[in-house]
């Protein structure tokens, strides 16, 4: 409620529905992390109670009394006591090490499960690129994945890379943070049980629009996922009714950064637009994907997302209308 004014409208509703709470895990990995968190919290709480209890007891029990002003007995060194406060913490740290190690194995698999859906995630300033090598799909900002069913596990194995600086992928209900580091590939795995829209954010400061690098994971039934994948792998729709608008678009600088598969637009700096209309949001989760938002976005992205790599092309009314009309046919 406190943040209502700053959370973009598109996020407020799904936030309430799907939530981003680590206390509502939706994968075995996230459940493991919650268990670890609760265990560490319990141990820390116990230490806090014991230490504060001893402190309060001593403050009260040995407070200065008016009757006597003599010093209490001064003691130096005690084998048993020193042993106790050395061995105690050592044991605690050892137990925590073992539990953390086990949790790591749950969230960072050492090998790719044979039946896993593999997706490569590339972090860009400030958007996400998703590649599905097995399906020949390149898309952006919204990750579609299948859920696992009791008799058919279908884990999602992510390989995370960066195109520029360090980002961090965090969908709290699905797992812990995984950094995307230039020159390195990290991995994580989600085995999702419930269809839902899981929200997350980039959680490593990566520049001016770090806060607007949002994540939507759309987990759906295996059938729905296969339908989405089959459609997404197709080239862009060639609607003859918007031929003039398409030509306008293809003559603009847009094509230097964006790809529309099946046309002469083959840029790879920005998100692939082949099936732009299949996405719920624009500008990496900032805006719902509506005509009005799309128009505002292409007319001046810098007003919505200052510092983003998409320049203000200063399109006039007529050109902007043509571009939006064309983009809206990219179902």
| Residue 178 or 248 having the CB closest to ligand CUA | 178
Helices 79-107/28-61 angle, 10° precision = 160
Interaction of residue 308 with ligand CUA, rule CB under 6 A: no
- The CB-of-166 to ligand CUA minimum distance in angstroms stands at 8
Interaction of residue 123 with ligand CUA, rule CB under 6 A: yes
Interaction of residue 206 with ligand CUA, rule CB under 6 A: yes
Q: Which of 161, 167, 216, 246 binds ligand CUA (CB under 6 A)?
A: 167
Token reading at 116: 């896993």
Peptide bond into 126 cis (omega under 30): yes
What would the DSSP string read from start to end of 32-84?
HHHHHHHHHHHHHHHHHHHHHHHHHHHHHHT---SS--PPPPP----HHHHHH
| Residue 129 or 232 having the CB closest to ligand CUA | 129
List, in sequence order, every residue forming a beta bridge with 217; answer none if it has no partner. Answer: 143, 198
Interaction of residue 173 with ligand CUA, rule CB under 6 A: no
Of 4-12, 53-61, 142-150, 199-207, the segment contacting ligand CUA by CB under 6 A is 199-207
In this structure, the strands spanning 127-132 and 186-190 are: unpaired
Q: Which of 33, 171, 213, 214 binds ligand CUA (CB under 6 A)?
A: 213
Q: How many CB atoms neighbour CB 255 within 10 A?
A: 17
- The CB-of-210 to ligand CUA minimum distance in angstroms stands at 3
Q: Which of 106, 129, 142, 204 binds ligand CUA (CB under 6 A)?
A: 204
218 to 277, contacts with ligand CUA by CB under 6 A? none
Q: Where do the DSSP E strands lie in 93-229?
A: 117-124, 127-132, 137-140, 142-146, 156-162, 167-170, 178-180, 186-190, 196-202, 214-220
Interaction of residue 309 with ligand CUA, rule CB under 6 A: no
4 to 43, contacts with ligand CUA by CB under 6 A? none
Query: Which string of x and - marks every residue 70-109 that binds ligand CUA (by CB under 6 A)?
Result: ----------------------------------------
- The CB-of-224 to ligand CUA minimum distance in angstroms stands at 29
- The CB-of-93 to ligand CUA minimum distance in angstroms stands at 32
**Contacts for 102-106 with beta carbons within 8 Å, 24 or more apart?**
102/32, 103/32, 103/33, 103/35, 103/36, 106/28, 106/29, 106/32
| Residue 32 or 284 having the CB closest to ligand CUA | 284
Burial of 300 (0-12, 13-18, 19+ CB in 10 A): middle
Interaction of residue 210 with ligand CUA, rule CB under 6 A: yes
Number of shown-chain residues binding ligand CUA (CB under 6 A) = 9
Q: How many alpha carbons lie under 13 Å from residue 86 in its C-beta half-sphere?
A: 6
Positions that interact with ligand CUA (CB under 6 A): 123, 126, 167, 202, 204-206, 210, 213
């Amino acid at each position: 409620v406190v943040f209502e004014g700053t959370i973009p409208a598109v996020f407020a509703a799904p936030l309430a529905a799907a939530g981003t709470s680590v206390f509502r895990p939706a994968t075995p990995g996230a459940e493991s992390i919650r268990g670890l968190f609760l265990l560490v919290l319990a141990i820390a709480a116990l230490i806090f109670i014991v230490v504060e209890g001893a402190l309060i007891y001593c403050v009260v029990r040995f407070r200065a009394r008016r009757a006597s002003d003599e010093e209490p007995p001064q003691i130096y060194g005690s084998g048993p006591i020193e042993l106790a406060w050395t061995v105690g913490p050592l044991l605690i740290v050892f137990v925590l090490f073992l539990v953390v190690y086990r949790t790591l194995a749950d969230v960072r698999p050492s090998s790719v499960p044979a039946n896993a859906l593999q997706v490569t995630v590339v972090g860009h300033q400030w958007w996400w690129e998703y590649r599905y090598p097995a399906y020949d799909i390149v898309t952006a900002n919204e990750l579609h994945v299948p859920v696992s069913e009791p008799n058919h596990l279908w884990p999602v194995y992510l390989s995370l890379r960066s195109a520029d600086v360090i980002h961090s992928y965090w969908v709290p209900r699905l797992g812990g943070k995984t950094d995307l580091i230039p020159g390195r590939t990290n991995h994580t795995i989600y085995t999702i049980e419930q269809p839902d829209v899981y929200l997350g954010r980039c959680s490593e400061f990566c520049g001016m629009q770090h806060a607007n690098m949002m994540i939507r994971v759309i987990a759906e039934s295996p059938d729905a996922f296969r339908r989405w994948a089959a459609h997404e792998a197709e080239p862009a729709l060639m609607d003859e009714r918007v031929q003039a608008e398409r030509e306008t678009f293809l003559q603009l600088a847009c094509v230097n950064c964006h790809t529309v598969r099946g046309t002469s637009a083959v840029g790879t700096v920005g998100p692939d637009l082949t099936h732009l209309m299949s996405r719920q949001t624009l500008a990496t989760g900032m805006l719902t994907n509506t005509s009005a938002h799309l128009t505002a976005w292409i007319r001046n992205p810098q007003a919505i997302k200052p510092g983003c790599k998409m320049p203000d092309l200063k399109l006039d009314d007529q050109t902007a209308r043509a571009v939006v009309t064309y983009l809206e046919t990219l179902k």
